């Protein structure tokens, strides 16, 4: 099995992911759907050779010990890929994700224009959230590139692994990879304020130490971007607070109300015409009302309502975003109902819209 021709087919097919597993042919994920290649099933030797060809000696030693390896590679003339090699039922399996060389703009990604304003925020914490493959890294890359093109800043990223490669433009960008340039997110963050950053991007918040240092950095005048595997803004806030023991929750709420600038949550929906996917978004902006709700555990429950009613601040819920996409004829009703937060309410409002010209 030659990997380079498969990678080329992957790019030509606009597949986001490639899965290599014993007993199956190579499988692409195209517009969210798994699609097997017309090839013979792979065997253990195919996977062993493929894994060896993708890893350095150090990575092979790490994999032999940990049974897991996660890293990025660049194929000259093709693209960059994020690679995860793991064991399943005693044999090697590989998952690869395409990372395009070109960083698409906020407009090209069909993301809300408010993200440009969030990118120009002087200080604070901005979070991108969603499930795996929902576009969090791509969204943050677009926001960082917007800063890079329009501001003179020092941007430091801490990633595991490095995905998009940035070229210095108006700003200078230092990209650090876990395992190569630093040992951990927490360790690198302990020293990052001595590296004169204006903007800090943390690839993923995984533990209490990382979120604590991220909020402290935001509180001391830096703009901090990061991601969380949460479904929406309310869940994101609850997840951050739950990282800490109960006796610290009030302190965390006060700090979060002070530093949080915005949350963009993402879901990728397949287009009705089969030409790809586009993002549905939920946007939270830190207004005086949101800050008040953050400080009180009971009032936090009212944040979804504040998002829905916050159009004057360019906030909107997932259901509002999906309603707009559906009304434009971009996605079908089945897709819309599968992705909204409240399907019953969505259908009731849809009937209301169909019967009158009222807007939601």
Same domain, 51 and 148: no
Residue span of the structural domain in which 82 resides: 3-99
Measured CA to CA, the distance from residue 360 to residue 358 in angstroms comes to: 7
**pLDDT, tens digit (0-9, with 9 covering 90-100), for 41-94:** 999 999 999 999 999 999 999 999 999 999 999 888 888 999 999 999 999 999
Cα–Cα dist 130/209, whole Å: 21
What is the phi-psi region of residue 23: left when phi exceeds 0, alpha when psi lies from -120 to 50, beta otherwise? left
**Taking 60 as the threshold, does the pLDDT of residue 182 lie above it?**
yes
Q: Residue 185 has what pLDDT? A: 87
Residue 350 has pLDDT above 90, yes or no: no
Q: Let me know whether 163 and 127 are in one domain.
A: yes
Q: Do 77 and 49 fall into the same domain? A: yes
- pLDDT band at residue 353 under the 50/70/90 scheme: low
By mean pLDDT, which of 9-18, 126-135, 202-211, 349-358 is the weakest? 349-358
pLDDT tens column, 105-126: 999 999 999 999 999 999 999 9
Contacts of residue 234, defined as CB under 8 A and 6 or more positions apart, other chains included, come to: 300, 303, 304
Per-residue pLDDT at 165 exceeds 90: yes
Task: Say whether pLDDT at 357 is over 50.
Answer: no
Local structure of residue 69 (DSSP, 8 states) = E
CA dist., res. 304 & res. 310, Å (int): 10
| Residue 158 shares a structural domain with residue 266 | yes
Alpha helices in the chain (DSSP H): 3-12, 44-54, 57-66, 114-119, 136-150, 185-192, 208-219, 233-242, 249-259, 288-295, 303-308, 318-327, 333-339, 343-355
Using DSSP's 3-state secondary structure scheme, residue 311 falls into: helix
Give 2-5's long-range contacts (Cβ < 8 A, gap of 24+).
Answer: 3/50, 3/53, 3/54, 4/75, 4/78
Is the same domain home to 271 and 157? yes
Q: Let me know whether 274 and 128 are in one domain.
A: yes
Q: Specify the CATH number for the domain of residue 242.
A: 3.40.50.300
What are the backbone dihedrals phi and psi of residue 205, each rounded to the nearest 5 degrees, phi first?
Answer: -90, 115
Whether 157 is in a domain gets the answer yes
Boundary-marking domain end, from 99, 129, 147: 99
Neighbours of 214 (CB within 10 A): 24
10 Å Cβ neighbour count for 198? 18
Instruction: Please report the pLDDT score of residue 355 as a whole number.
Output: 56
User: What is the pTM assigned to this prediction?
Assistant: 0.89
Q: pLDDT over 70 for what percent of the chain?
A: 98
pLDDT score recorded for residue 351: 83
- Determine contact, residues 185/124, Cβ cutoff 8 Å: no
For residue 121, the SS3 value is coil
pLDDT at 278 over 90: yes
pLDDT band with cut points at 50, 70 and 90 for residue 187:
confident
Q: Are 174 and 188 spatial neighbours (Cβ–Cβ below 8 Å)?
A: no
My answer on whether 190 and 126 are in the same domain is yes
Q: In the chain, how many domains are there? A: 2
Q: Looking at the structure, do residues 159 and 298 belong to the same domain, yes or no?
A: yes
C-alpha distance from residue 336 to each of 84, 279, 283 (Å): 31, 12, 18
């Amino acid at each position: 099995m030659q990997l380079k021709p498969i990678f080329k087919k992957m790019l030509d097919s606009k597949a986001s992911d490639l899965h290599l597993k014993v007993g199956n042919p190579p499988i692409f994920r195209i517009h969210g759907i798994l699609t097997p290649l017309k090839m013979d099933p792979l065997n253990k030797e195919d996977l062993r050779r493929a894994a060896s060809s993708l890893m350095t000696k150090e990575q092979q030693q790490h994999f032999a010990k940990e049974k897991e390896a996660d890293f990025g590679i660049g194929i000259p003339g093709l693209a960059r890929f994020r690679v995860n090699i793991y064991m399943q039922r005693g044999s090697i399996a590989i998952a690869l994700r395409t990372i395009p060389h070109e960083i698409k703009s906020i407009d090209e990604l069909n993301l809300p224009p408010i993200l440009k304003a969030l990118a120009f925020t002087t200080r604070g914490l901005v979070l991108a959230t969603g499930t795996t493959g929902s576009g969090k890294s791509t969204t943050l890359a677009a926001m960082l590139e917007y800063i890079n093109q329009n501001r003179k800043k020092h941007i430091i990223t801490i990633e595991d692994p490095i995905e998009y490669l940035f070229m210095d433009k108006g700003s200078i960008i230092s990209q650090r990879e876990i395992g190569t340039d630093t040992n951990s997110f927490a360790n690198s963050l302990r020293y990052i304020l001595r590296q004169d950053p204006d903007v800090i991007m943390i690839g993923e918040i995984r533990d209490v130490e990382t979120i604590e240092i991220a909020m402290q950095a935001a509180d001391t005048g830096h703009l901090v971007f990061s991601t969380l595997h949460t479904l929406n803004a309310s869940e994101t806030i609850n997840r951050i607070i739950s990282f800490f023991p109960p006796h610290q929750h009030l302190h965390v709420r006060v700090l979060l109300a002070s530093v949080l600038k915005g949350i963009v949550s993402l879901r990728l929906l397949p287009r009705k015409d089969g030409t790809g996917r586009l993002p549905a978004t939920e946007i939270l902006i830190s207004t005086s009302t949101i800050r008040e709700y953050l400080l009180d555990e009971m009032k936090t429950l009212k944040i979804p309502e504040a998002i829905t009613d916050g159009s004057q601040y360019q906030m909107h819920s997932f259901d509002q975003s999906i309603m707009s996409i559906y009304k434009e004829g971009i996605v079908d009703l089945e897709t819309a109902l599968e992705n909204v937060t409240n399907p019953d309410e969505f259908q009731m409002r849809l009937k209301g819209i169909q019967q009158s010209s009222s807007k939601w």
